[in-house]
Amino acid sequence: MTGAPADPVPPATAPGGEAAPDDRTAAGPLLDVRGLRTWFFTSGGVVKAVDGVDLTVGRGEVLGLVGESGSGKSVTFLSVMRLVDAPGRIVDGEILFDGRDLRTLSDAEMRDLRGSRIGMIFQQPISSLNPAYRAGFQIAEVFEAHEGLKRKAGWARAKELLARVGIGDAERRARAYPHELSGGQAQRVMIAMALAGHPDLLVADEPTTALDVTIQAQILDLIADLQRDLGTSVVLITHDLGIVAEICDRVAVMYAGQIVEEAPTRPLFLEPKHPYTQGLIGSVPVIGQRRERLAVIPGRVPNLVDLPVACRFAPRCSARVEHGLTQCTEALPALVEVEPGHKVRCFLHSDAVEAVPEVPVEVGRR
């Protein structure tokens, strides 16, 4: 199961030299995040940007992580990659990647893992590249670092990979500096860099938000093609529900630092259960669907400092009022599986309450 024969990316090998688990049926999910809390200790108080996130990413799966700004979707995966800077800190939880807790790794081990087994692409591809080096060199470096290739061999592989991610005239583009690339080309270079380490997991944070819609379509097709050919697991972080519906197998919706709903893509769109998910889907105009008015979620995202232990969406939730629920403002609903694979954090669907652990913030591990 290593992809098409024409694929320039050979089967993955783990940093330790042992064969990487490329069998998708291997036991357990590739990534298993449990009880993650990442807080920012600011002068204005403790901002609980990620506050109790449980999430898995299966082998070969494309997971969409959806939310608005400030929902914690990016911070969740910055935490997974251990890229959260002060004043932010992971204060609680486990991040099991292929069975190993990433929080116990040394900085050097983590750096190695990021370049190889976990690849990343970001919203601003041009500013994510080093402006002083040619695009091909930056990809060749990955081959040099992880496979010990010589400069010339690395450069040749970089050109192959650029052609693979759909860059026309790869020979010439490999010699280009980042500022000479368009946004779409730069994102292709970023994808090539991420794939050079043949990762098991590709984290794409708003990869097409800065791109025009026709270019966005090209990049999404590319990610979907590569995912299918290489069997890489992909986490797509986005605010765009359309993108999620097109390429994700499963979706998790975040609101104010917590996951409020999680389901395979089809049920999530056809039968959204959480009032926030319903509001989000109803508020977006959809091409070809005329509606007199768009749904409106009243109010705004809460301040993440000093939140009461309660449903975080309660102050904006009209369903709560309609159904006369009172526990929403008194306790935090737990994320409960109400149908196979469909989880929701809402008292309309389950009475289960989540116990919030005391987090010893001063003693927390890194």
Q: Report the run of H or E that residue 277 belongs to, with start and end.
A: helix 275-283
Q: Residue 211 CB, nearest distance to other proteins (Å)? A: 9
| Distance of alpha carbon 301 from alpha carbon 308, whole angstroms | 14
From candidates 168, 324, 340, 360, binder to other proteins by CB under 8 A? 168
Instruction: For residues 93 and 233, give the distance between their C-alpha atoms in angstroms, rounded to a whole number.
Output: 22
- Binding status of residue 179 toward other proteins by CB under 8 A: no
The answer to the question of residue 227 lying near other proteins (CB under 8 A) is no
State the minimum distance, in angstroms, from the CB of residue 300 to other proteins: 5
Minimum distance from CB of 295 to other proteins (Å)? 6
Per CB under 8 A, 34 contacts other proteins: no
List the one residue from 215, 307, 334, 353 that touches other proteins (CB under 8 A): 215
Question: Binding other proteins by CB under 8 A: which of 14, 105, 301, 307?
Answer: 301
Does 124 contact other proteins by CB under 8 A?
no
Helices 135-147 and 151-164, packing angle to 10 deg? 120
Give yes or no for residue 187 binding other proteins (CB under 8 A): no
Decide if residue 169 touches other proteins (CB under 8 A). no
Query: Out of 185, 227, 233, 258, which residue is the one contacting other proteins (CB under 8 A)?
Result: 185
Q: Shortest distance, CB of residue 298 to other proteins, whole angstroms?
A: 8
Our CB check for other proteins shows the closer of 7 and 240 to be 240
Q: 4 vs 12, 140, 192, 314, CA distance in Å?
A: 14, 22, 17, 49
In this complex, which beta carbon is closest to other proteins, that of residue 96 or of residue 176?
Answer: 176
Q: Which two tokens stand for residue 174?
A: 């490999």
- CB contact at 8 A, 257 and 251: no
Cα end-to-end distance, the chain, whole Å: 36
Q: Which residue's CB is nearer to other proteins, number 144 or number 205?
A: 205
Handedness of CA 343, 93, 112, 206 (dihedral sign): positive
Min dist CB 109 to other proteins, Å, is 37
Collapsing DSSP to helix, strand or coil, 222 comes out as helix
What torsion, rounded to 10 degrees, do the Cα atoms 50, 125, 234, 247 define?
Answer: 110
Q: By C-beta, is 42 or 104 nearer to other proteins?
A: 42
152/290 with CB nearer other proteins = 290
Record the tokens describing residue 349, joined without a space: 């669907």
Minimal distance, residue 358 CB to other proteins, in Å: 32
163 scored as a contact of other proteins (CB under 8 A): no
Nearest CA to 195 out of 317, 12, 4 is that of 12
Which phi and psi angles does 219 have, rounded to 5°? -70, -40
Cis before 87? omega within 30: yes
**Do 66 and 238 touch, CB atoms closer than 8 A?**
yes
- Phi first, then psi, for residue 307 (nearest 5°) are -75, 140
Place of tokens 């289960």: 352
Nearer to other proteins (CB atom), residue 99 or residue 299: 299
In the complex, the smallest distance separating the C-beta of residue 265 from other proteins, rounded to whole angstroms, is: 5
Q: Which of residues 241-300 bind other proteins (CB under 8 A)?
A: 241-246, 265-266, 269-270, 279-281, 283-288, 290-291, 293-297, 300
Distance CA 207, CA 223 (A): 10
Interface segment toward other proteins; rule CB under 8 A; list 35-43, 128-136, 177-185, 198-206: 177-185
Binding site residues, other proteins, CB under 8 A? 68-69, 168, 182, 184-185, 212-218, 220-221, 239-246, 265-266, 269-270, 279-281, 283-288, 290-291, 293-297, 300-301
